[in-house]
A and B are shown apart, each in its own frame.
Chain A
Amino acid sequence: MRQLILIAGGSTLVYFMLALIMGVIPGFELSQTLPGPGVKPLTAIEAEGRDVYVSNGCSYCHTQQVRPLPEDKIFGRPSTAGDFAYQTPELLGSERTGPDLTNVAERRGSQLWQYIHLYNPRAVVPQSIMPSFAWMFRVVDKAPKGVTPVPLPKAFAPSSGVVIPSHKAEALVAYLMSLKQAPLPHAEGSEGAAAPSGASGGSAQTTAPKAAAQQAGGADIAHGKQLYDDNCAACHQATGTGMAGAFPPLKGNAVVNDADPTEHIHVVLFGLQGKAVDGVKYDSPMPAWGQQFSDKEIADIIDFERSAWGNHGKQITAADVAAVRAKGAGK
């Protein structure tokens, strides 16, 4: 009997202590982490959307943790402890079969885009392997008042009628639109306007010598293409053709080919809403990218856009971007 008590009882006691030290006590302590500045609890509909997110297992393919590594920079600034204060259940995830969603509302700021993408991801990202969530939408003859039908490209639209989101889809998109990182106050204060967020500030530092060299010798168009593919192609498409009725084309776009780059820079820095593009009005807003990218990065993106798909706009430099940024959004 003594042997049994020693082996079974002794090892269980040891394990119990270790479970306290490594699981329960850190759990208690970290549960009291205070929310970071600007981190807010979800609204009722956003919380409902998080339930949809959980019940359909979104976090098996999408993480919500940005690591302090250069490769994670495209997803936002590094996550801090305070970011997770209202995140129960925790949705950090363990795999990135798809991209991280910590800051998706900044990176894919258009609700319309989110609806199209949920209905069928391949309508906006041809190579995507994400499941279609068409079952969260309804096909009706005519959209009820106040509801915008999802502007699907022909190949993905039902043969008759229009597609409108169900309540589940609305809640889910409301949740996705809440996934926005609160800026870290100290980073903004110390970096100044030229390199606004902590993340891009850090990278601007590491790429500074390279950037300086390229400012003399011309733009880094390859880098611009990378940034474009990651951040812009979802709406404007890798072919620059946009999506009829939803997102304007950049190929042959008057602003992109204008010899005066001011407006082009302005739109990328500060976004655009409710203004006709080449005579067509679009419902979804163009997000502002000024907070996420340095002047140099924005110049690279713009130079890429101005030289791709047969465009031939005048090339610009980081200094041009800085000048427009300094004037502010009002101009």
Chain B
Amino acid sequence: MASLPNDDTATGAAENPELARLFAGYTISATAWLVFATFVALVLAYKFGAPDFGSGAWLTFGRLRPIHTNATFYGWASIALVGTAYYVAARSCRTRLYSIRLGWVGLWLFNLAALLGTIALDLGYNSGDLEYREWPWPIRVIFAAALVVTAVNLLATVARRSTDDIYLSNWYIMGGVLWTVIIATVGILPWYQYGLGQVAVSGFYMHNAVGLWFTPLALGIFYYALPKLLSRPIYSYALGILAFWTNLLFYPIIGSHHFLFSPLPWWLQTTAIVFSVAMLVPVWGGSANFLLTMRGRFGEVAHSYPLGFILIGVVGYLVGSTQGTLEAFRSLQQVWHLTSFTVGHSHLTMYGFVTFAIWGGIYALLPAATGKQAGRLGMAAHFWLAVVGSFIYVIAMSIGGTIQGLDWVQGKPFIQSVIDIGPFYVWRGVGGILMFLSHLVFAWNVWRMTLGHGAGSTVQPAPLAAEAA
């Protein structure tokens, strides 16, 4: 089996300005959504301390909150991951992207969906407060259409590869896009979504939309960017394949752990817990694979910010997913479920893992595509603001959420839990401000890597060591 994304400069992006433009277009668009979504987040965080701030229908908390989550999921992370996936697929298959035009069509569809979805939510058109599928269904159909376009383009690209084997990154990328077409469809069709039936579908949907969309695409970036940055093959190709299949088999089963102690059938809840534990296989296997690929070279993180972002992403994956397993135990869920601890967990995973993975991928690959570098100072400022900010955020929500849960267990009056978590809401805001500032710096860096003047001279794509496992 091939063990390295063994791309060929002749068909590389340096020779293919169209692919570079597409990659840049996705990145710029995603970055705009990131800045927007996290600006909304600051308003939301502020409201916890000043609930009368921005009262009025359009700025009310319950409308802005789904705008934040959906813009982050479908505006920022989805668009950024697809843009990177196109680049990774074309390069690792040593071929040109099947259709640049389809790539742009997909980008317009993703943006159209995210824009219409945001407007609809702010006007109060919310499809049932069902998490991550709040957009009215016609808008979700547009998003699904963008997924189909992306799937066709990626499959056709892999089909015309000039390598013998399909490199591991493409397994994750193709799988993620194809499975998500199914998830989106299951979420939209109404016939099995009444009352408790919809609860079962919600459990399935909200977890799969995360774990079989963002996770495989982000892992696809790791498997490509890490060997490229280190000029060294992935530690174990076979372990990567094991993680691929186990992730596929276990992840779809664990969604109901969002509804433990609910009237959902006992078997559905218990299998969810059992497989939440089984998820340690792909998570630890995958994380070990990445960390072992870096073995003996951790010192290089000090010189390479792209590597730094990826390292944080790997740690975020390991810690966040392991935490998810722990949260699924009934004994721990009894304290943590329904508290802000969950909010900390979702940021540890969507931010500490997925978002850092995307950043690592963009810093590692975009300069190679466009020939323009982000400045070192800019990357440093982005890195440290984001790391410190998200650390404060996650710690504040974890402690605050635990206190909330313990207050309830001790039978204190409910309002006491609102009072006790108050200071931690403030700390969350502090972390959030740092995170938002890091996004502004990131936007500046993206500008330099794409439309603006890059730092330093044109860079050649990093040399790639070619060998087999």
- Give the B-binding residues of A (Cβ under 8 A): 1, 3-4, 7-8, 11-12, 14-16, 18-19, 22-33, 54-61, 63, 65, 67-71, 74, 79-81, 83-99, 120-122, 125, 127-135, 226, 229-230, 233
Beyond contacts A16-B182, A22-B255: 9 other A-B pairs, Cβ-Cβ < 8 A, are A8-B175, A15-B212, A31-B198, A57-B63, A89-B127, A92-B262, A125-B415, A129-B48, A129-B51
A90 touches B128 (CB 8 A): yes
Q: CB of B236 within 8 A of chain A?
A: no
- Give the A-binding residues of B (Cβ under 8 A): 47-49, 51-52, 55-57, 60-63, 65-66, 124-131, 155, 158-159, 165-166, 170-171, 174-175, 178-179, 182-183, 186, 191-202, 204-205, 208, 212, 244-245, 248-249, 252-253, 255-256, 258-259, 261-265, 268, 334, 338-340, 342-343, 408-409, 411-416, 418-419, 422
A60 touches B204 (CB 8 A): no
Question: B111 to nearest A CB, angstroms?
Answer: 24
User: How far, in whole Å, are A177 and B30 apart by their CA atoms in the complex?
Assistant: 43
B126 touches A31 (CB 8 A): no
A90 touches B198 (CB 8 A): yes
A87 touches B195 (CB 8 A): yes
Chain B residues near A24: list those with CB within 8 A: 186, 192, 201
User: How far, in whole Å, are A122 and B62 apart by their CA atoms in the complex?
Assistant: 18
A57 touches B412 (CB 8 A): no
Known contacts A4-B158, A58-B62, A79-B263: A26-B131 contact under CB 8 Å: no
Known contacts A65-B262, A69-B334, A226-B413: A56-B197 contact under CB 8 Å: no
Chain B residues near A81: list those with CB within 8 A: 196, 263
Chain B residues near A94: list those with CB within 8 A: 131, 258, 338, 342
Which of B124, B245, B340 contacts A56, CB < 8 Å? B124
Which of A57, A80, A135 contacts B66, CB < 8 Å? A57
Known contacts A14-B249, A15-B252, A19-B186: A7-B174 contact under CB 8 Å: yes
Chain B residues near A19: list those with CB within 8 A: 182-183, 186, 204, 208, 252
A68 touches B261 (CB 8 A): yes
B159 touches A12 (CB 8 A): no
Which of A12, A22, A30, A97 contacts B175, CB < 8 Å? A12
B195 touches A85 (CB 8 A): yes
User: How far, in whole Å, are A94 and B248 apart by their CA atoms in the complex?
Assistant: 25
Chain A residues near B128: list those with CB within 8 A: 54, 88-91
Q: What are 28 A-B contacts with C-beta separation under 8 Å?
A: A3-B165, A12-B175, A12-B178, A19-B186, A22-B253, A22-B255, A23-B255, A30-B265, A31-B195, A54-B128, A55-B63, A56-B62, A58-B129, A59-B129, A60-B66, A60-B129, A63-B338, A69-B261, A79-B263, A92-B202, A95-B338, A96-B339, A127-B418, A127-B419, A131-B55, A132-B52, A135-B57, A226-B412
Which of B171, B252, B265 contacts A26, CB < 8 Å? B265
B129 touches A57 (CB 8 A): yes
A88 touches B193 (CB 8 A): yes
Chain A residues near B412: list those with CB within 8 A: 226
A71 touches B409 (CB 8 A): yes
Question: A297 to nearest B CB, angstroms?
Answer: 12
Chain A residues near B166: list those with CB within 8 A: 3-4, 7
Question: B461 to nearest A CB, angstroms?
Answer: 26
B195 touches A88 (CB 8 A): yes
B192 touches A60 (CB 8 A): no
B61 touches A61 (CB 8 A): yes
User: How far, in whole Å, are A241 and B249 apart by their CA atoms in the complex?
Assistant: 60
Chain B residues near A70: list those with CB within 8 A: 409, 411
A-B contact count (CB 8 A): 248
A26 touches B263 (CB 8 A): no
A55 touches B171 (CB 8 A): no
Closest to B170 in A: A7
Chain A residues near B268: list those with CB within 8 A: 22, 26
Question: B273 to nearest A CB, angstroms?
Answer: 14
A55 touches B261 (CB 8 A): no
Chain B residues near A22: list those with CB within 8 A: 204, 252-253, 255-256, 268
Known contacts A125-B415, A127-B418: A23-B200 contact under CB 8 Å: yes
User: How far, in whole Å, are A122 and B125 apart by their CA atoms in the complex?
Assistant: 28
User: How far, in whole Å, are A83 and B196 apart by their CA atoms in the complex?
Assistant: 9
Question: B147 to nearest A CB, angstroms?
Answer: 13
A90 touches B61 (CB 8 A): no
Chain B residues near A61: list those with CB within 8 A: 61-62
A95 touches B415 (CB 8 A): no
Known contacts A14-B248, A96-B338: A27-B415 contact under CB 8 Å: no
Chain B residues near A121: list those with CB within 8 A: 51
Known contacts A3-B166, A30-B199, A133-B60: A71-B411 contact under CB 8 Å: yes
Chain A residues near B199: list those with CB within 8 A: 30, 84, 90, 92
Known contacts A90-B128, A90-B202: A8-B55 contact under CB 8 Å: no
Question: A110 to nearest B CB, angstroms?
Answer: 18
User: Which of B51, B412, B422 has the largest count of A CB atoms less than 10 A from its CB?
Assistant: B51
Nearest first, the 3 A-B pairs at minimum CB distance are A57-B62, A89-B128, A31-B197
User: Which of A56, A86, A131 has the largest count of B CB atoms less than 10 A from its CB?
Assistant: A131
Closest to A85 in B: B195
Closest to A8 in B: B174
A60 touches B65 (CB 8 A): yes
B418 touches A128 (CB 8 A): yes
User: How far, in whole Å, are A98 and B166 apart by their CA atoms in the complex?
Assistant: 50
Question: A119 to nearest B CB, angstroms?
Answer: 11
Known contacts A57-B65, A127-B418: A84-B182 contact under CB 8 Å: no
A91 touches B129 (CB 8 A): yes
User: Which of A19, A26, A27 has the largest count of B CB atoms less than 10 A from its CB?
Assistant: A27
User: How far, in whole Å, are A191 and B176 apart by their CA atoms in the complex?
Assistant: 54
User: How far, in whole Å, are A182 and B194 apart by their CA atoms in the complex?
Assistant: 20
Which of A14, A31, A65, A99 contacts B192, CB < 8 Å? A31
User: How far, in whole Å, are A87 and B200 apart by their CA atoms in the complex?
Assistant: 13
Closest to A234 in B: B415
Chain A residues near B416: list those with CB within 8 A: 229
B56 touches A15 (CB 8 A): no
User: Which of A4, A81, A94 has the largest count of B CB atoms less than 10 A from its CB?
Assistant: A94
Known contacts A12-B175, A79-B262, A87-B195: A95-B201 contact under CB 8 Å: no
